[in-house]
Amino acid sequence: MYQIGAGKADITILKENVGLMGYGVHWNIGKTIGTRLHARAFVIRNSEKTVVFVNAEICFPTIIMKHAALQKLAAAGYSYEDAGFILTAQHTHSAPGGYSHYFFYNMTVTGHHKEVFDTYVKGIVEAVIQAEQNCQSSKIHLNKGTFGKEVPIAFNRSIKPYNKNPEVTRKLGKDETHLAVDREMKLLRFDNNHGKTIGTLNWFGVHTTSVSNDNTKINFDNKGFAAQYFEDDLAEKNSDDPPPITVFAQDVAGDVTPNFIWDKKKKWTRGKYEDDFESAQFHGKLQYEKAKDIYEKTPEQGEEIVGDIDFVSMYVDFSNVKVDEDFTGGASNQRTTQPCIGIAFLQGTKEGPGLPKAIGNVVRFGDMFVKAYRKYIFSNFMPYKERVAMMHMYKAQHPKTVVLEMGEGRVMGTKRVRNLIVPAFADPVIKYFKHLDREGITRQTPWEPEVLQIQIVVIGQLAIVGIPAEITTIAGQRLRKTIADVLKERGVTEVMLSPYANGYSGYITTYEEYQCQAYEGGHTVFGKWTLAAYQTKFSALAKELIGPSKDRKRQESEDQMKGPRFVEEEKIWYGFKDKSTPVVV
């Protein structure tokens, strides 16, 4: 028996000229409120340990956001271990940005906005405190359900890279993308001793992008509508306070889209209806109906979760991970490298185009000269260590056309962005980028996080895995198996992947997918061995849950000291001139 509570708080903020986070285009500004945004929280504890699971209706969380929430909760009398606190996002692309402390993720949302950051943290704290105040003796049941093939719920937007994986024994065509995804929803049902439902938590992987990048309304998109429909339904059946809370969390969604119809007018894919908000509601209803169906069959057809609560986390510098040969196909001495962005990412996807194709071609052509210049001419005058680092970067990132070296603050090989051959008038983002360089903002490096938290929480026979990235379908299969193979010794039979957790660092693709350099590969920032690096570190982390707890507690303590120290550094490096004054650009 566990003590479980649920909470929900409003995190809506409308601030003039603040960009919406997700699509990375300058015109995607929030001007009105379409739907209000929320943070939802579950507190789960036994006599020894407490787990907190938070899901916010934003694009992704950040490390500093999590630690700010933990500090405010401690000040309010609620202290939690870092390793047991999971902060996730349902990944809507229609919530205000500007809450990151990294240059790259503030570039297209008009900078860092302290009001947005504070609003999100305040709502997270309120949701957790509400959950604490509602804690009661409860049971947990797990159940699953699969969407039928005819249900237009999820489609693989990068079928060519998907087909490159050896796991795909029959190559799928463009009309079979709905088969190239995980169509299963997993759901936890929380009921108190009197049989009243406290809430539900489900995982299903699909991008929260039914609302496109021409939108100017703050909106929680398809997963938000799903949660709203389910909560309204349960509230009618459970008139007692507090009302049940439902979380529609993300699963493996990196290459999974809700959009499947080519819009000839917009020149990108959309959902069932021409009106994006109708499509979001339709898609949300599909998720809600599946969750409701699973819920109603639980606990009769479900499995009760029983057993101890445990957790462990690790802060990893993913820019320099030595990868285990078990995950490289036998290739030895392989490492990740500083984060880099490729042109494939900057050009966007079929559901949200980015830089024009012509500019992409210019960049690819120019990249040949940049590499030649750096490798064979300038490298002769470089210090040895810098030369080795540069060669390693190109090797680890190959075959990516590297545009942005996020660790060094370079664009196409130069730190002087204002001198790029692509003219400012070619694209507003390039014009803005050059302006930021002149203002000195681009010299605050790295431009995105390199040190990230990975996390495993165990509740009985269930493991929840916090991943600070978005992961593709087959990459998710491999990572889940890696962790499950270790934790089966502990009696864990179910492994839930929770991407967009505690931070964000782009994508995780398989080695084979990376070679194609589609959108997802272009944003797999640590290079072709990114998945292998995650497998290496998560395998080691899972093994910590097998060993003696007294040894692990000591290691957890060291990691918790390491995490906040990185946070303090980030306040200086990524968006702040000092510890109190934000750089607003």
The DSSP result for 182-236, as a single string, is --EEEEEEEEETTS-EEEEEEE----S-SS-TT--EE--HHHHHHHHHHHHHHHH
Q: Which two tokens stand for residue 256?
A: 């999974």
DSSP structure class, residue 419? G
Give residue limits of the domains in the chain: 2-315+450-566, 328-429
The pLDDT score that the predictor gives to residue 46 is 96
List the strands of the sheet with 494-498, edge to edge: 309-317, 451-459, 462-466, 494-498
Residue-wise pLDDT for 88-103, tens only, equals 999 999 999 999 989 8
The two three-digit tokens of residue 351, written as one number: 């559901």
* pLDDT for 568: 38
Task: Check residue 574 and give its pLDDT.
Answer: 33
pLDDT 10s digits, 287-311: 999 999 999 999 999 999 999 999 9
Closest residue by Cα to residue 504 from 541, 559, 449: 449
Tell me what pLDDT residue 585 has: 26
pLDDT at 377: 63
> What tens digit of pLDDT does each residue of 360-392 get?
777 776 777 677 666 666 666 677 777 788 889
Tell me if 231 sits within 8 A of 57, measured CB to CB.
Answer: no
Q: How far apart are CA 40 and CA 8, in angstroms?
A: 4
In one-letter notation, the amino acid at residue 498 is S
Is residue 67 within 8 A of residue 563, CB to CB? The reply is yes
pLDDT at position 579, please?
30
CA angle 199, 190, 78 (to 5 degrees): 75
Predicted confidence at residue 474, as pLDDT, reads 98
The pTM assigned to this predicted structure is: 0.93
Task: Please give the structure tokens belonging to residue 317.
Answer: 């510098």
10-residue mean pLDDT series, the chain (585 residues): 96 95 91 98 97 98 96 98 98 97 88 95 98 97 98 98 97 97 98 95 98 96 98 85 92 98 92 97 98 96 96 96 95 95 88 74 72 66 78 93 91 84 75 84 86 97 98 98 98 98 97 97 98 98 83 47 39 32 29
**For residue 550, what pLDDT is reported?**
55
Question: How much is the mean pLDDT over the chain?
Answer: 89
The reported pLDDT for the residue numbered 151 is: 98
Non-local (6+) Cβ contacts of 473 within 8 A are 156, 162, 180, 181, 182, 205, 252, 254, 255, 256
- Which tokens sit at 9? 């708080």
